[in-house]
Amino acid sequence: MNQTKIFTTRKLEKNVSDFIVENNNSENEILGDWTSTLFHVFHKKCWLIINKPTKYVLILANVKKADLKNISSIFKKTFHKQLVHDGIKVDYELIEKLIGEINLCETDNDRNANGTLNNILPYFEDWKYEFGNFENMPFRELNGRLNGQPNKQLSWLFPKEKMNEMIKKPTHNNV
């Protein structure tokens, strides 16, 4: 079974320390590793997660400590819904196979991923004013906006285009 690592920033690491596992140095061969940070929207804890190879961003809104036992399921469902929202047609069963189990790991201090996350966070301050409260924030749409911006590190491709390429690779039929 595949395993997907999400490296946590120090800020998130403090909140999920009971769920951190040792890094086994094996990368998810298909989608690569992810990095996540913690941020707050109207006093609710949210995770901003980025896929390192594609710069594809995923928002997990209102994550509670009790949710951490089911983080793999929450991640896969949210990821699948976001892919569909972004126009990437993919079966949930394939996402389950590609992601497998989520392992939360201590920070790997990836300056590139952390820098990208830090560049995205100010958007949420603007969106807080635009939408007024947590219940009005359309996280899927906001997430789609982030994945629909061209990225210089991807030769000006959109992160959703790059993720679509990775998911549609023919080698995934054997997963």
Domains of the chain: 3-167 (3.30.420)
Contact 175, 97 (CB under 8 A): yes
Nearest to 70 by CA among 15, 139, 19: 19
Stretch 90-106: mean pLDDT? 95
The confidence score (pLDDT) of residue 25 equals 72
Residue 136 burial (10 A CB sphere; 0-12, 13-18, 19+): exposed
Kindly report, residue by residue over 37-91, the tens digit of the pLDDT.
999 999 999 999 999 999 999 999 999 999 999 999 999 999 999 999 999 999 9
174 C-beta neighbours (distance < 10 Å), count: 6
Question: 3-class SS at 15?
Answer: helix
- As a whole number, the mean pLDDT across the chain is 92
**Which of the four pLDDT bands, split at 50, 70 and 90, describes residue 100?**
very high
Kindly report, residue by residue over 135-151, the tens digit of the pLDDT.
999 999 999 999 999 99
E strands of the chain, at which residues? 3-8, 34-41, 44-51, 57-60, 101-105
Taking the C-alpha atoms of residue 102 and residue 36, their distance in angstroms, rounded to an integer, is 12
